[in-house]
Amino acid sequence: MLTRLEVKGFKNLLDVKIDFGPFTCIAGANGTGKSNVFDAIEFLSYLADETLAEAAQRVRGASGSPGGDPRDLFWDGYRDGEHRISLTAEMIVPAEVEDDLGVIAKATATFLRYDLVLEFKSPPTGRGVGRLGLAHEELRAVKRGDIARHMRFPHSAENFRDTVVIGQGESDVFLTTESWEDLTFIHVHGDRGSHDQPPPRIAAGKARRTVLSSVTGADSHPTIVAARREMQSWRRLALEPSALRAPDGFAAPRSLGTDGRHLAATLFRMAVETDHDVGVQDEEAVYAQVADRLSDLSGVGVESLRVEPDPAREVLTLYLQERGGLRLPARALSEGTLRFLALCVLLEDPTVTGLICMEEPENGIHPANLPAMVELVRDLSVDATERPGATNPYRQVVINTHAPGVVQLCDPDDLLLAETRPQRAPDGRVVSALSLLPYRGSWRAKQGGPTFSKADVIPYLVAPPGAQLRLSSETEG
């Protein structure tokens, strides 16, 4: 769970600090930087896995090809001079981790703060494309005495916090940076009890990837591996009708892709497979729960649904029995219905945990169905008053939107208003950059910090003049 993100110098995130709870909705006009927040989260997730160059190329809007220009990611990156991106994530990581070789180990602490600074290195000849360099990297446990101050969203200490925050000491460090003359080294510390040897150190200037992404052994570094696993679980869901409609063979992966692929195979697995971690599922009950949730969408009239294997063609097909008597494969459904159905399946899948970012969930949804959609994305996130588990999957959701209807339906505590506001750049210029304002009086609001009120949201809730639909009889005469 990502509880806080601090970003400096990434795209139009000149200097932002965001507190996340189980559910967050970032609302704002076009071009304010809502998706850039998702890009920053996604960038951190890629950096936990890939080289600096590969991670940079995968970010939305970056040049997108080998040899692409990393300056796309830096605030005002094409201006001469030094450029740095600083990313900080405070996160609650899984307590038990399995590394790539199947070694299972326990993290020393689960509430961690990860700091990363990247710099742009110009090409030595002044020609060609520069590259990304590692300037600073740190991973520390949040001190036991600071937990309450850092975990600000409303939650139950007994049911929630004590289940997910485990083992905090007073001074655990896992990665630290040291500068020596003009060289920078990252030290890799073993978990508690393995301090007998000096920690290996890595020359930051030579690193092609983050040190965190290069640590793979859970036996000696379980907490670093747990942080990696957590960051790898941050995903951006972009449900695509073509992927949602793609057929699933018997051998298809049985979990939903970020574009909605493998919907039928996922639901089939949920219904028929007994997962000992999450308990025995009753096949009919699984289908009934998904069908029930789908029927919240008015205009769909679903009686029941089920996945049917076709042994001759070796395909799995999701069929819907409509109330009117029609039986149709799910691929015949409308785009909006298919997206809603995919989220209903996600909701009932206890194996889906971690952070899910979702762009504009209102897309393709009729205004009458907005309440059902907002309730569904909210319900996807963990209930922090209860213990996380099979019936309360440990999931976090961040959505963004520019729909007044969504803003109106969200709990003000869950809202952040995205605006571009004048800010002072490191070189002294006053420039326009992303600001995220919490609702006045909500847990996200800081004493004395800027907030928004109902009066500020009103312009969002009012459609611009001329945007209202008119019936032809009104426009005539």
Ligand X SMILES: Nc1ncnc2c1ncn2[C@@H]1O[C@H](COP(=O)(O)OP(=O)(O)OP(=O)(O)O)[C@@H](O)[C@H]1O
- Site residues, ligand X (CB under 6 A): 11-12, 28, 30-36, 72, 74-77, 402
* Tokens describing residue 425: 């750049």
Asked if 238 contacts 226 with a C-beta cutoff of 8 angstroms, the reply is: no
Q: How far is the CB of 39 from ligand X (least distance, A)?
A: 7
Q: How far is the CB of 346 from ligand X (least distance, A)?
A: 23
36 interface partner picked from Mg ion, ligand X, none, CB below 5 to 8 A per type: ligand X
Give whichever of 207 and 406 is closer to Mg ion, judged by the CB atom: 406
* Tokens describing residue 158: 């007994």
Give whichever of 176 and 400 is closer to Mg ion, judged by the CB atom: 400
> In 330-419, where does DSSP find H-type helix?
335-348, 370-380, 404-409
Q: Give which of 157, 165, 152, 146 is closest to 21, Cα–Cα.
A: 152
110 interface partner picked from Mg ion, ligand X, none, CB below 5 to 8 A per type: none
Q: How far is the CB of 157 from Mg ion (least distance, A)?
A: 36
11 interface partner picked from ligand X, Mg ion, none, CB below 5 to 8 A per type: ligand X
Give whichever of 156 and 408 is closer to ligand X, judged by the CB atom: 408
Give whichever of 6 and 146 is closer to ligand X, judged by the CB atom: 6
Q: How many Å apart are CA 120 and CA 73, to the nearest integer?
A: 10
Give whichever of 61 and 169 is closer to Mg ion, judged by the CB atom: 61
Q: How far is the CB of 33 from Mg ion (least distance, A)?
A: 8
Q: Which of 24, 32, 35, 266 binds Mg ion (CB under 5 A)?
A: 35
Q: How many Å apart are CA 162 and CA 198, to the nearest integer?
A: 33
* Tokens describing residue 37: 């927040």
Is 425 strand, coil or helix?
coil
Give whichever of 72 and 322 is closer to Mg ion, judged by the CB atom: 72
Give every CB contact of residue 221 below 8 A, 6+ residues apart in sequence.
Answer: 174, 188, 190, 191, 215
Q: Which stretch binds Mg ion (CB under 5 A): 35-43, 166-174, 191-199, 274-282?
A: 35-43
460 interface partner picked from ligand X, Mg ion, none, CB below 5 to 8 A per type: none
In this structure, what is the dihedral angle of CA atoms 45, 50, 52, 55, given to the nearest 10 degrees? -50
In the sheet with 13-19, reading across from the earlier edge strand, the strands are 13-19, 2-10, 84-92, 111-121, 131-141, 173-180, 183-188, 201-203
Instruction: Give how far the C-alpha of residue 334 lies from the chain's centroid of Cα atoms, to the nearest Å.
Output: 26
Q: How many Å apart are CA 298 and CA 281, to the nearest integer?
A: 28
Give whichever of 77 and 450 is closer to ligand X, judged by the CB atom: 77
Asked if 400 contacts 359 with a C-beta cutoff of 8 angstroms, the reply is: yes
* Tokens describing residue 36: 């850039």
Name the strand (E) or helix (H) holding 287. Answer: helix 283-294
Q: How many Å apart are CA 138 and CA 208, to the nearest integer?
A: 16
Q: How far is the CB of 126 from ligand X (least distance, A)?
A: 21
Give whichever of 44 and 107 is closer to ligand X, judged by the CB atom: 44
Q: How far is the CB of 31 from ligand X (least distance, A)?
A: 4
Give whichever of 34 and 444 is closer to ligand X, judged by the CB atom: 34
Q: How far is the CB of 63 from ligand X (least distance, A)?
A: 12
Asked if 103 contacts 51 with a C-beta cutoff of 8 angstroms, the reply is: no
70 interface partner picked from ligand X, Mg ion, none, CB below 5 to 8 A per type: none
Q: Which stretch binds Mg ion (CB under 5 A): 34-42, 126-134, 246-254, 276-284?
A: 34-42
Q: How many Å apart are CA 27 and CA 417, to the nearest integer?
A: 5
What number of chain residues touch Mg ion (CB under 5 A)? 1
Q: How far is the CB of 236 from Mg ion (least distance, A)?
A: 11
Contacts of Mg ion in 358-397 (CB under 5 A): none
Q: Which stretch binds Mg ion (CB under 5 A): 32-40, 69-77, 140-148, 321-329?
A: 32-40
Q: How far is the CB of 403 from ligand X (least distance, A)?
A: 10
Asked if 268 contacts 254 with a C-beta cutoff of 8 angstroms, the reply is: yes
Q: Where does this chain bind Mg ion (CB under 5 A)?
A: 35
